[in-house]
Structure 1
Amino acid sequence: MALKLKGVEFEYVEEDLKNKSPGLLKYNPIQKKVPLLLHNGKPIVESLVILEYIDETWPGPAILPSHPYDRAMARFWAKFLDEKCWPAMRRACMSTGEEQEKANEEANEVVMFLENELIGKKFFGGDTIGLVDITANFIAHWHRFFEEFSEIMQPPLITKDKFPNLCEWVNDYTNCSFVKENLPQKDKLAQLFMGRIQAAKAAAQ
């Protein structure tokens, strides 16, 4: 999304993490994971590091704000999404029974912070898409998925009644032209999610 926002041409390569390619092992031998940005033969790893690198390397719409305080807050919320929100939402999706009930409560608590941060804003950075919005990609992706395949998870984690600001953000974000063109296919997302749900339930038995 960041490269598209900047108008940078690039080659996108998917990686099978169960059968890691020689290229991934060569360019990220420490973590052996994605995402990985290869620029001029040099690897950059870690999502938030990559986003800042893209912003500093290419001209175009700014991903981080110009004011130091605003930049610090953007980094804070991006880290919050990466380290707190994503793990909590993942646990809520993958757990079952009493564990799922507790996980849902924890996820609701962290998501409410995002809901409140969006009061009076179109995007997390204000009127334009920035670092926090791109970091929150996963919320937009999964929200779209659950709307269509709601029978998989009842009740849905994010609803308009409970999180109206966040749902409005999802709508505004996913309807941006460069975002809409690059959202993952729903059927592919469904296949991936169902596989993980079945594996999690099998492991819990």
Structure 2
Amino acid sequence: MAAEKGVKVLGMWASPMVIRVEWALRLKGVEYEYVDEDLANKSADLLRYNPVTKKVPVLVHDGRPIAESTIIVEYIDEAWKGGHPIMPADPYERAQARFWARYAEDKCNPALYPIFSTTGEAQRKAAHEAQQCLKTLETALEGKKFFGGDAVGYVDIIVGWYAHWLPVVEEVCGVSVVTDEELPLLKAWFGRLLAVDVLKAALPDRDRLLAANKARREQVLSA
């Protein structure tokens, strides 16, 4: 049997982790097949390609699977060296990019979820704590157009989902986290990032995302 050729992404339309992979591929100009997974009824392909965590995203390149979004983004940059560079060329700058990406994964992302899963005083406290994490992240934007400098880079791809998903979460939860007053650099970066056509084209429909998050929040709060 001939080996499978080409590039395939196993994803889920509302997942901010999946958008990282699609953005990296689009920036590189790589054509790919997208397969939307029903995570309540996982496909045989997903279970075969990612038997360890059984999660999306999974990138399948010429029949060989790679899992975990941050790892996939680095793989894409290495596998398709031409076109838009994702990781900095300088070793020190690469290390800094990985540091800020890890900070967002380990500190900011966990700080954001309680906003979605709480109400009242607990939610206000969660919003404040998330804001403090984002203020630290924002320092990496000082004097720059993007985290990657003059062009979208690794950190922009890893944390870029904030620009589309966080305003939806704010609307669903009735809170304000990223404001011009508290996080002016991050708020301005939201606008610049979403103005990049190749990134904007991959985003899920906002109304659909809003409806899905409203339903999910109701489910979480009633549990």
TM category (shorter chain) comes to over 0.9
The alignment's TM-score, normalised by the length of structure 1, stands at: 0.92
- Tell me the equivalent position of 1:124: 147
State the alpha-carbon separation in 1 of the partners of residues 89 and 178 from structure 2.
32
Q: Is the contact made by 2:116 and 2:169 (CA closer than 8 Å) also made in structure 1?
A: no
- Tell me the equivalent position of 1:133: 156
- Tell me the equivalent position of 1:46: 68
State the alpha-carbon separation in 2 of the partners of residues 91 and 60 from structure 1.
39
- Tell me the equivalent position of 2:79: 57
State the alpha-carbon separation in 1 of the partners of residues 169 and 123 from structure 2.
16
Structure 2 spans left out of the alignment, 5+ residues: 1-22
- Tell me the equivalent position of 1:174: 194
Per-residue CA deviations over 1:158-204 (Å, capped at 9, x if unaligned) read 1111111001101000001101111110112112211211011102x
Q: Is the contact made by 1:146 and 1:156 (CA closer than 8 Å) also made in structure 2?
A: no
- Secondary structure of the equivalent of 2:34? coil
- Secondary structure of the equivalent of 1:12? strand
Amino acid at match of 2:75: Y
- Tell me the equivalent position of 2:181: 161
Q: Using the aligned pairs only, state the percent identity.
A: 47
- Tell me the equivalent position of 2:120: 97
State the alpha-carbon separation in 1 of the partners of residues 212 and 113 from structure 2.
13
Amino acid at match of 1:83: D
State the alpha-carbon separation in 2 of the partners of residues 163 and 63 from structure 1.
25
Q: Alpha-carbon deviation of 1:146?
A: 5.4
Structure 1 spans left out of the alignment, 5+ residues: none
The alignment's TM-score, normalised by the length of structure 2, stands at: 0.85
Q: Is the contact made by 2:56 and 2:67 (CA closer than 8 Å) also made in structure 1?
A: yes
Q: Is the contact made by 2:107 and 2:133 (CA closer than 8 Å) also made in structure 1?
A: yes
Match of 2:41 among 16, 19, 22: 19
Q: Alpha-carbon deviation of 1:99?
A: 2.3
- Secondary structure of the equivalent of 1:38? strand
- Tell me the equivalent position of 1:192: 212
